[in-house]
Structure 1
Amino acid sequence: MKVHETSIAGLLRIELDLQRNPDGWFEESFHRDKLAAAGMPPYEVVQHNVAYFESAGILRGVHAEPWDKYLSPSAGRVFVAIVELPEAKVETFELGVGDALYVPRGLGNSFCTIAPHTVYNFLVNEPWSPERIAVNPFDPELAIDWPGEELSFTEKDATSPSLAEVRSQGV
C-alpha cells in the first residue's frame, strides 16, 4: 500500500496492492496498520457501506459529511471530484480496482460512474446520519468537467445550492 498526498490538505490517494491471478484478482482493500505505516492518519471504521451502480453516468454529490471517508471501488470505475469548502478548490481522480481515497470530514465528495456494474465501498468512522452540506455538482464556480454525455442524477443533488449560497450560510 502506498499513500500519496494531494493538493488538498488531508486528502490522500492510496494505491492498494492488487494481486492478479488466473481466476481474477485479490486486493487487501483496507488494512489499518499497513495504511498507518504508509502515512494515513489513525482511522477506526464504524460502518461499511457498499453501493452498486448498474450503468455508467450515475452522478452523486457534492456532499460534505461530518465523518471521514475511505472510498474504494471493488468493481468498475468512478470519476471522483473532491471539493475543499468554502475555497472551491477541486481535485479529481479516476478510481478503479486497486485505488482508494481517504477523504477527511468537511471536504465535499462527489462521483460519477464511468463503467457499468460499478461497486463502490464507503468506510466511515461515524455512523451515517442525514447531516451534511450539499453543493450543486453543476455549479460553474466548481467547473467540474463530468465525464460522459448522459448523466443520471437525483433532483435533490441537481437543486442543491450553489457554493456562493452555501458560503452565505456561514460555511
Structure 2
Amino acid sequence: MKVEETTIPGVLRIALDVKPNDDGWFKENFHREKLAGLGMDVVQHNVAYFAEAGIVRGIHAEPWDKYMSPSSGRVFAAIVDLRDNETFGRVETFELGPEQALYVPRDVGNSFCTVTPHTTYNFLVNEHWSPERVAVDLFDPELGIEWPVQELSYTERDAANPSLARLREQRA
C-alpha cells in the first residue's frame, strides 16, 4: 500500500497492490493494522453495486472517516472540503479502479460517478451510519466538477442539495 497526500488536508490517495493470477487478480482491500496506521478503526463495511455507467451519488460529508475502493469497474470521485477551514470549497477529483483507494476524513464531502457498468464499490467507515450529513449541489458552477459521463442518473435528494455559496451563508 502506497499512500499519497492530496491538496485537501487529510484526504489520501492509496495505491493498492493488485496481484494478477491465472483467474484474474487478488488485492488486500482491508488490513486492520495498515488502516489503523491511517487513524481509522473500521466498524462497518458497505458494498454498493451499480449496473450502469453514469450513476452519481453525493456530494455528502458525513460524521465519519471513509476508506473507499472499487472491487470491479471504475468510478470518478469528486472530493470537496466542506470543513470550516482555509481549504473550504477546494475540489479534487480522481478516477479509481480496483488498484486504488481513497481515505476521506469526516466532514469532507465525497461523491462518485460510475464510469463503467457493473461497478462494485466498497466503503469502510469508522462510525455506524446515521442520517446526519452536510451536502452540496453536484452541479454547482463554483465547484466546477466536470463529470466524465454525459447521461447521469442521480437521486432527487442529491439534486436538491444547496450550493456552496448557500452553505457558506448558512454557516456565517
Q: Is the pair's TM-score, using the shorter chain for normalization, greater than 0.5?
A: yes
The corresponding residue for 1:96 is: 97
Q: Residues 70 and 122 of structure 2 are in contact (CA less than 8 Å); yes or no, is this contact kept in structure 1?
A: yes
The corresponding residue for 1:126 is: 127
The corresponding residue for 2:146 is: 145
2:167 and 2:35 map into 1 onto residues whose CA distance is: 34
The corresponding residue for 1:71 is: 68
The corresponding residue for 1:84 is: 81
> TM-score w.r.t. structure 2 length?
0.94
What code does the residue aligned with 2:80 have?
V
Stretch deviating more after TM superposition (41-50 or 56-65): 41-50
Deviation at 1:35, TM superposition (A): 4.6
2:49 and 2:153 map into 1 onto residues whose CA distance is: 14
Q: Residues 74 and 118 of structure 1 are in contact (CA less than 8 Å); yes or no, is this contact kept in structure 2?
A: yes
Q: Residues 3 and 35 of structure 1 are in contact (CA less than 8 Å); yes or no, is this contact kept in structure 2?
A: no
> TM-score w.r.t. structure 1 length?
0.95
Deviation at 1:111, TM superposition (A): 0.4
Dislocated runs of 4+, deviation >3 Å = none
Q: Residues 71 and 121 of structure 1 are in contact (CA less than 8 Å); yes or no, is this contact kept in structure 2?
A: yes
Percent of counterpart pairs with the same letter? Answer: 68
Structure 1 alignment gaps of length 5 or more:
none
The corresponding residue for 1:13 is: 13
The two structures, once aligned, show a CA RMSD in angstroms of 1.2
Structure 2 alignment gaps of length 5 or more:
none
